[in-house]
């Protein structure tokens, strides 16, 4: 793999890609991308040194509570035009590219598992771009059927995690861009992607942005989440400093339980107790300047709010 740090915005990327559109509006002329100049293979663990560092400062009895985040397998491919994720002659198809990349992911996850890690979160905010009409129309203009590409990415995700041991928890985080002072990159309900993503991605848990109904829509698409999968509702915003009301958040969680219950043929209380959790919508430091939550004190207050909501809803909450 080789890093090209000076690709032109928007011409060397998908020009309708939401992040590239945002870069263009900000006046950025170049952005980095990673292109496979030879066959992809796993040479050495990338995240293992970080995990080994964490193990030195966290008592072993708490290793099971630690979680690492990694980027999604589709992240690099999705930014670039069709056939541009690799140099000429390296791969014959997207599936061949993803076969090798998935093999590298599995090797990385095995190295982390063998070193004692038991929880991984895959970050893929880009999958929500398939909600965007502008993005979908851009793909169609390039002769790409959006749902066919989405199906390819679902397959690639599943290939990357297919050999994960049963006692290693794998979840995926979907958001809309943690931008406190600008528009979200993908605004609207999960409805356009829910019937494909939620039943077919082989993750145990979905970490979903739901802090602002105007951005993320209603909970109705959760009816597509099958029994046996978990949803962590990101209902506490990391984009605004204002504290949400505890009772209002509890009502929203119960609304989500009702939506999931309708699809699973169970009671909302059953779904609430065995399939739902709460969290912040994203992290507090996606941007090093102009964060939505500026002070450490307010960050802690937001986290305490998450804890208090959890304790009010679940007897076994921490």
Please list, in sequence order, all residues whose beta carbon lies within 8 angstroms of the beta carbon of residue 292, skipping any fewer than 6 positions away: 180, 181, 237, 238, 239, 240, 241
What's the pLDDT tens digit per position in 2-18?
545 568 888 889 999 88
**Has residue 20 been placed in a domain?**
no
For the chain, what is the domain count?
1
Q: Cα–Cα distances in Å, from 278 out to 12, 232, 252, 306?
A: 39, 5, 10, 7
Mean pLDDT of the chain: 92
Query: What 3-state DSSP class applies to 85?
Result: coil
Q: What is the CA radius of gyration of the chain?
A: 20
Which CATH number is 278's domain given? 3.20.20.210
User: How would DSSP label each residue in 194-257?
Assistant: HHHHHHHS--SEEEEE-S-HHHH--SGGGGGSPTT-EEEEEEE-SS--SPPPHHHHHHHHHHHH
**Has residue 198 been placed in a domain?**
yes
- Global pTM? 0.93
- The boundaries of the domain holding residue 52 are 42-313
**Has residue 74 been placed in a domain?**
yes
**Has residue 185 been placed in a domain?**
yes
53 φ/ψ sector (left φ>0, alpha ψ -120 to 50, else beta): alpha
Q: What is the pLDDT along the chain (318 residues), one digit of tens a residue?
A: 554 556 888 888 999 988 888 888 878 888 888 899 999 999 999 999 999 999 999 999 999 999 999 999 999 999 999 999 999 999 999 999 999 999 999 999 999 999 999 999 999 989 999 999 999 999 999 999 999 999 999 999 999 999 999 999 999 999 877 666 655 667 789 999 999 999 999 999 999 999 888 778 899 999 999 999 999 999 999 888 899 999 999 999 999 999 999 999 999 999 999 999 999 998 887 655 556 787 899 999 999 999 999 999 999 887
**Has residue 36 been placed in a domain?**
no
């Amino acid at each position: 793999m080789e890093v090209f740090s000076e690709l032109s915005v928007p011409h060397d990327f998908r020009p309708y890609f939401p992040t590239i559109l945002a870069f263009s509006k900000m006046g950025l002329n170049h952005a980095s991308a990673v292109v496979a100049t030879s066959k992809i293979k796993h040479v050495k663990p990338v995240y293992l040194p970080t995990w080994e560092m964490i193990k030195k400062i966290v008592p072993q009895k708490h290793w099971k509570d630690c979680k690492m985040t990694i980027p999604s397998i589709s992240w690099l491919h999705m930014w670039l035009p069709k056939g541009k994720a690799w140099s000429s002659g390296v791969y014959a198809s997207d599936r061949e590219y993803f076969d090798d990349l998935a093999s590298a992911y599995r090797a990385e996850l095995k190295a982390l598992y063998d070193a004692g890690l038991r929880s991984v979160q895959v970050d893929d905010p880009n999958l929500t771009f398939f909600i965007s009409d502008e993005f979908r129309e851009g793909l169609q203009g390039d002769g790409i059927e959006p749902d066919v590409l989405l199906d390819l990415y679902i397959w690639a995700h599943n290939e990357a995690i297919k050999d994960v041991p049963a006692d290693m928890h794998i979840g995926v985080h979907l958001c809309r861009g943690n931008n406190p002072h600008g528009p979200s990159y993908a605004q609207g309900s999960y409805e356009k992607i829910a019937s494909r993503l939620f039943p077919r991605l082989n993750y145990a848990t979905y970490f979903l942005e739901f802090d602002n109904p105007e951005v993320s829509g209603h909970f109705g698409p959760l009816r597509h989440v099958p029994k046996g999968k978990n949803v962590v509702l990101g209902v506490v915003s990391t984009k605004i400093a204002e504290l949400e009301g505890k009772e209002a958040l509890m009502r929203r969680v119960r609304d989500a339980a009702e939506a999931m219950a309708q699809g699973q043929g169970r009671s909302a209380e059953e779904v609430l107790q065995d399939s739902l959790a709460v969290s912040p919508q994203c992290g507090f430091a996606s941007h090093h300047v102009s964060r939505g939550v500026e002070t450490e004190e307010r960050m802690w207050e937001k986290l305490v709010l998450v804890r208090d909501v959890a304790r009010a809803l679940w007897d076994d909450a921490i």
